[in-house]
Chains A and B, each alone.
Chain A
Amino acid sequence: MTPRAITFELNGETVVTLAEPLESLQSVVHDRLGLTGTKAGCRQGGCGSCTVQLDGEPVLSCLVPVEHVEGRSVRTIEGLTPQTGELSPLQAAFHEGFATQCGFCTPGMITAASALLERNPNPSREEIIEALSNNICRCTGIEPIIQAVQDAAARMRELEEAAA
């Protein structure tokens, strides 16, 4: 079977890429399209380091056949990073709160947390833990990460109010 062409929206731009049948979205994004923020950790849906947003919902991209994203919209950590060179409030909170150490889990954490804050700007601690329940960190421990999401949520609500 020869590779086939797949078309989808990646971080706001239409991309056309070749892919093997049942190639994972993680492999396509990372290896074929060169967006290395979407990490391959366990390749079996256990670690969360490959989390991306598919039509706004977090998914474990190592478990998504790329055929399933045909015509749909994918956002990766690169697409969640401001193009101005600054950090997003969520990224800044991770940085300032020492919620990242080796950094391998961080893109997945931020992608999952950002999907949570999109639908729930004021999540409880339990809701944050729930939203990150598919993401493992083996350096900092999960506490500074939970705190960073809470801090970012507060900061984003402030910015929202200031803008209103």
Chain B
Amino acid sequence: MVADYVLAGTPEEAAKLLAGDPAAIVMGGGTTLMPRATRGQLSGRRVIGLARAGLSGITRNGGLRIGAMTPVRDVEALEEPAALAEAARAVGGATLRGQATVGGNVLMTRPYGDLVPVLLALDAEIEVLGSGGARRVPLAEALKNDPPVAAGEILTAVIVPEAQGAVSFKRCSRLATGSPSIVAVAARVRREGDTIAEARLAIGAVEPRAVRVEAAEQALVGTAGDEDAVKAAVAAATEAVNPVDDVAASAWYRGRMTELFVRRALNAALEGGRG
């Protein structure tokens, strides 16, 4: 049994509690931590809950500010960015999506957070709160650290800029719903005239943390997005990732599906980006 479960009333209170007990665990919706608690894997630990910390809600101001405790279900209901809503619908099943939070989805590994590739393609930032105050970090930078949020810090919000260009999301899984991703790919393409001025390619569920593949992005920028450019980008993406083995798929299969789904995501973004 856990030592204690404390529900913080504000993000500041949660950060203060965490500063007072660095071994404490922060819990959001509970969808990944509750099974661990039930199995006795959090024995003796203090758990700090964010459920009443006032971190749920989406505000729109050009882009979006999504509170870390916002249920994934609320993202599913967004009209824009459509690719983010689509990724939200890929999470778990309908009931779970009312309990799983955006913050948890961003931080979790295995099963992998399906929102993350789209957030990376949109150049999202995260807002974290620690004893030293609040700071904002590009999500792509944060994901280079493990864990992405430093010890003693709490993820409070995800900041999503307005989408520039066309965004796509394509995922491979055994079943349409309730099935973990084998690979989840998001792409964004912004054209100036016929030429691609900016490209983003992010791949989730293939490595422990989702990654942006800059080599693939560079293979597209300055081209017209023709077949050769897509081929080069797909090759760069496939080359760049180091697929993991897990219960959902072998590393070999993940590699093959990465190739296929990167191509699909790029083609979808390129089609959406015309006109």
Enumerate chain A interface residues (CB-CB to B < 8 A): 1, 20-22, 24, 27, 43-46, 48, 51, 57-60, 62-65, 67-68, 112, 130-136
Q: Mark B21-40, 1 if CB is under 8 A from A, else 0.
A: 00000010111001101110
User: Are the C-beta atoms of A21 and B38 separated by less than 8 Å?
Assistant: no
Q: Kindly state the separation between the CA atoms of A136 and B93 in the bound complex, as whole angstroms.
A: 11
- Point out which of A22, A45, A46 has the most chain B C-beta atoms below 10 A from its C-beta: A22
Give CA–CA (A34, B3) in the complex, Å: 26
Question: Is A1 a contact of B3 with CB atoms below 8 Å?
Answer: yes
For B2, the chain A residues whose CB sits under 8 A away are 1, 21-22
Which parts of B64-118 form the interface with A (CB within 8 Å)? 92-96, 98-99
Which B-chain residue is minimally distant from A21 (CB atoms)? B5
If A22-B47, A58-B98 touch, whether A63 touches B35 (CB-CB below 8 Å) is yes
Contact between A21 and B94 (Cβ–Cβ < 8 Å)?
Answer: no
Whole-angstrom distance from the CB of A49 to the nearest CB of chain B?
12
Give the complex CA separation of A135 and B44 in angstroms. 32
Give chain A nearest CB distance to B248 CB in angstroms: 13
Partner of B95, one of A20, A27, A43, A51: A51
Q: A21-B2, A22-B2, A133-B95 are in contact. List 10 more A-B contacts (CB 8 A).
A: A1-B1, A20-B1, A22-B5, A46-B178, A59-B95, A59-B99, A60-B95, A65-B27, A65-B30, A68-B49
Interface range for B:
20 to 34
**Contacting residues, chain A, for B224 (C-beta < 8 A):** none
The docked-state distance in angstroms from the alpha carbon of A131 to that of B2 is: 33
Indicate whether B4 reaches chain A with its CB closer than 8 angstroms: yes
Specify the chain A residue showing the minimal Cβ separation from B98.
A57
Once the chains bind, are A21 and B47 in contact (CB under 8 Å)?
A: yes
Are A45 and B31 in contact (CB-based, < 8 A)? yes
Interface of chain B residues 33 through 58 with chain A (CB within 8 A): 34-35, 37-39, 42, 47, 49, 51
Residues of B within 8 A of A43 (CB): 35, 38-39
Tell me which residues across on chain A come within 8 A of B47, comparing CB atoms: 21-22
* Interfacial chain A residues near B3, Cβ < 8 Å: 1, 21
- Nearest chain A CB to B52 CB, angstrom units: 9
Contacts of B27 in A (CB 8 A): 65
Give Cα A130–Cα B76 distance, bound, in whole angstroms.
13
Name 19 interchain pairs, CB-CB below 8 A, sorted by A.
Answer: A22-B34, A22-B37, A22-B42, A24-B38, A43-B38, A43-B39, A58-B95, A59-B95, A62-B34, A62-B38, A63-B34, A63-B96, A64-B34, A65-B49, A132-B94, A133-B93, A133-B94, A134-B93, A135-B93
Cβ of B92: which chain A residues have Cβ within 8 Å of it?
45, 134
Expressed in whole angstroms, the Cα–Cα distance for A25 and B211 within the complex equals 37
Report A-chain residues with C-beta under 8 Å of the C-beta of B178.
Answer: 46, 133-134, 136
